[in-house]
């Protein structure tokens, strides 16, 4: 196929998936959160179950005036949401939804993801500084301190999986999990890494993901009661929408990464090779949905941590445990 | 063999090179001439991004993404945090002064570094053209790094430590003696 045509098709597919996915997750959050609190939640928008609520919200944000403060550095203020959004969308390039259903199976897969997603910190700092607002600056600084602290356990947990899989390619990691691990009564059993001794990595990874997303219980950067809305305080209209969609898109992105690293990605037991491209996306979406639900569930269950508790959790607990975990995984890899 | 200008522009890879190199140079120039310290750092980000792009063009994917992860994702962020915690003027207030006694040694130093690197490049490669090659496999690179070049590799990794110490040094307030 023509290179440029293929590129455009892939871009449109990824953009379409990210945007519709974000809307679905927003709806899921509204509904799931409501039911966890004994409410009904969105009810009137759309014909049934208030399904059109995220669309209505989105349209409302879009038609709001796009304000920027007088003292703001307009260029940087305008660029910041795009930096955050870009770093989120770029992650989807390497996430496999089937053996061939992948934007580009880079040899560096997970490394690419970690590099490109570290750019979102830059966007947040740009937003916080350029808004010319003390709440924004404080929020931006808190966000940066938090994202840096939790990027380490995130990377270390992923590194443990890379050590066990022996490859950084996302497709390679999935294949390593669909290999036969042992045979019982003539049936070849393949296990995802979660069940192959990576449970500690998985827990560390998910805690770090929730912190990277700045979601409750780690939402100090945008803590309403302390900082109004943190680095988002001055944003409105389309730029706020970009941040908002970006947040939910990165929820999907990180869930997809965790699903690939720990839950076997698009692989499912009993799927013949010929059907993997057809069934794979469905399996992957199911796993993503499961992890997204867990993240939503955590939000509606836990109270907000304090800033020092957050830093202590990362530096005193998660990072040392993750380092020890890598050592143990590496020893097992060499010995067995 | 030498390349004439018309030959240079016939090669599409050279256009891609220019598309990356010119913004990189411009951003590097603005990094040292910008009046606003936060903008200067952001220009440095563009410049480093361009450097990563040049590495991609050479097929060194791993090195390129390492530039993004380590320099943009870590060192620059530490710069920004250090600046914002201490002296960043909010918004667009200009702040930096370019005194001649600061400019001149910096210009001299960077010219010398540029000269040395250019000389080393010409001395090493001369007129040889680098053959187009496939992206380097990461596993080959890691075998090389952890075998023959393990000590330089460990030494280079101290850059991040230096950035950390620099961040602390900028952010640190000298304690005033209370009498």
Question: Residues A64-80: what's their mean pLDDT?
Answer: 80
**Can you list the positions of beta strands (E) in chain A?**
182-184, 187-189
Suggest the residue from B80, B95, B135 to mutate for an interface test with chain A (most A CBs closer than 10 A). Answer: B80
Cβ distance B73 to A118 less than 8 Å, yes or no, reads yes
Task: Write the pLDDT tens digit of every residue in B85-131.
Answer: 776 666 555 556 667 777 888 889 989 999 999 999 888 887 776 66
Distance CA A261, CA A264 (A): 7
DSSP label of A265:
T
> Residue B91 is nearest to which of A72, A106, A144, comparing CB atoms?
A72
The pair of three-digit structure tokens given for residue A290, joined into one six-digit string: 């499961």
pLDDT of A198 above 80: yes
Asked if B92 lies within 8 A of A71 by C-beta distance, the reply is yes
Domains of chain B, residue spans: 5-171
Contacts of B66 in chain A (CB under 8 A): 115
* Per-residue model confidence (pLDDT) at position B87: 65
* Nearest residue to A253 via CA among A311, A218, A192, A295: A295
A71 vs B90: CB contact, 8 Å cut-off?
Answer: yes
- Percent of chain A's residues with pLDDT above 70: 100
Cα–Cα separations (whole angstroms), residue A326 to A35, A235, A314, A317:
39, 41, 16, 14
Q: Do B65 and A119 touch (CB under 8 A)?
A: no
Distance CA A194, CA A161 (A): 10
The residue among A336 and B132 whose pLDDT is bigger is A336
Domains of chain A, by residue range, sit at 68-335
Question: Rounded mean pLDDT of chain B?
Answer: 80
Mutation to test the A interface, candidates B36, B90, B93, B141, most A Cβ within 10 Å: B90
Whole-model pTM above 0.80?
yes
Can you tell me the mean pLDDT for B73-89? 77
What does the pLDDT read at residue B119? 92
Q: Angle of helix A134-165 relative to helix B76-86, nearest 10 degrees?
A: 160
By Cβ distance, the residue of B42, B81, B90 closest to A132 is B90
Confidence category of residue A212, pLDDT binned at 50, 70, 90: confident
* ipTM (interface predicted TM): 0.79
Q: Residue A284: how many CA atoms within 13 Å on its side-chain side? A: 28
CB contact under 8 A, A144 and B38: no
Residue B101: how many other CB atoms lie within 10 Å: 6
Given a cut of 60, whether residue A196 has pLDDT beyond it is yes
Q: Which residue, among A213, A121, A85, has the nearest Cα to B78 in the 3D structure?
A: A121
Asked whether residue B9 carries a pLDDT value surpassing 80, the answer given is no
Separation CA A246–CA A75 (nearest Å): 20
**What's the whole-number average pLDDT of chain A?**
84
**Residue B30 clears pLDDT 80, i.e. is over it:** yes
Band (pLDDT 50/70/90 cuts) for residue A67 is confident
Distance from CA of A268 to the nearest CA of B (A): 28
User: Do B65 and A94 meet the contact criterion of CB atoms below 8 Å apart?
Assistant: no
pLDDT in tens, B143-179: 887 888 888 888 877 877 887 788 788 877 666 655 5
CATH of segment(s) B5-171: 1.20.120.1200
Among chain B residues, the shortest Cα distance to A136 is held by B90
Q: How far apart are CA A106 and CA A85, in angstroms?
A: 21
């Amino acid at each position: 196929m023509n290179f440029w045509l293929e590129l455009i098709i892939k871009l449109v597919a990824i953009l379409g998936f990210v945007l519709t996915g974000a809307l679905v997750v927003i709806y899921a959050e509204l509904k799931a959160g409501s039911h966890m609190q004994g409410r009904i939640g969105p009810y009137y928008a759309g014909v049934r179950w208030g399904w059109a609520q995220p669309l209505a919200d989105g349209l409302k944000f879009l038609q709001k005036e796009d304000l920027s403060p007088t003292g703001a550095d307009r260029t940087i203020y305008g660029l910041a949401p795009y930096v955050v959004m870009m770093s989120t969308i770029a992650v989807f390039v390497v996430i496999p939804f089937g053996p061939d259903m992948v934007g580009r199976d880079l040899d560096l897969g997970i490394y690419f993801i970690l590099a490109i997603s570290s750019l979102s910190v830059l966007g947040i700092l740009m937003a916080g500084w350029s808004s010319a607002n003390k709440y924004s600056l404080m929020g931006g600084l808190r966000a940066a301190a938090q994202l840096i602290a939790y990027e380490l356990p995130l990377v270390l947990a992923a590194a443990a999986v890379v050590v066990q899989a022996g490859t950084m390619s996302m497709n390679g990691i999935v294949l390593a999990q669909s290999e036969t691990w042992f045979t019982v009564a003539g049936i070849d059993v393949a296990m995802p890494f979660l069940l192959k001794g990576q449970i500690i990595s998985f827990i560390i990874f998910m805690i770090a993901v929730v912190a990277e997303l700045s979601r409750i219980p780690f939402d100090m950067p945008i803590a309403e009661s302390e900082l109004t809305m943190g680095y988002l305080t001055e944003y409105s209209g389309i730029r706020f929408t970009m941040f908002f969609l970006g947040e939910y898109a990165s929820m999907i992105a990180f869930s997809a990464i965790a699903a690939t690293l720990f839950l076997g990605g698009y692989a499912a037991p009993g799927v013949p090779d010929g059907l993997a491209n057809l069934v794979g996306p469905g399996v992957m979406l199911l796993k993503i949905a499961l992890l997204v639900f867990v993240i939503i569930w955590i939000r509606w269950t836990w109270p907000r941590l304090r800033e020092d508790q957050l830093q202590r959790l990362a530096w005193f607990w998660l990072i040392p445990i993750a380092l020890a975990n890598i050592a143990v995984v590496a020893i097992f890899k060499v010995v067995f | 063999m030498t390349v004439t200008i018309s030959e240079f522009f016939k090669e599409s890879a050279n256009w891609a090179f220019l598309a990356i190199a010119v913004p990189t140079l411009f951003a590097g120039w603005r990094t040292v001439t910008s009046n606003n310290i936060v903008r200067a750092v952001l220009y440095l980000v563009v410049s480093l991004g361009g450097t990563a792009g040049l590495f991609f063009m050479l097929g060194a994917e791993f090195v390129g993404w390492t530039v993004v992860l380590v320099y943009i994702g870590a060192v620059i962020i530490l710069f920004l945090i250090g600046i914002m915690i201490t002296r960043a003027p909010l918004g667009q207030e200009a702040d930096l002064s370019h005194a001649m006694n600061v400019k001149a040694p910096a210009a001299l130093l960077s010219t010398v570094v540029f000269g040395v690197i250019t000389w080393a490049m010409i001395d090493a490669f001369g007129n040889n053209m680098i053959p187009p090659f496939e992206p380097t496999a990461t596993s080959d690179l890691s075998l090389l790094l952890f075998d023959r070049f393990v000590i330089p590799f460990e030494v280079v990794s101290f850059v991040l430590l230096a950035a950390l110490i620099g961040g602390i040094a900028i952010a640190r307030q000298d304690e005033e003696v209370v009498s």
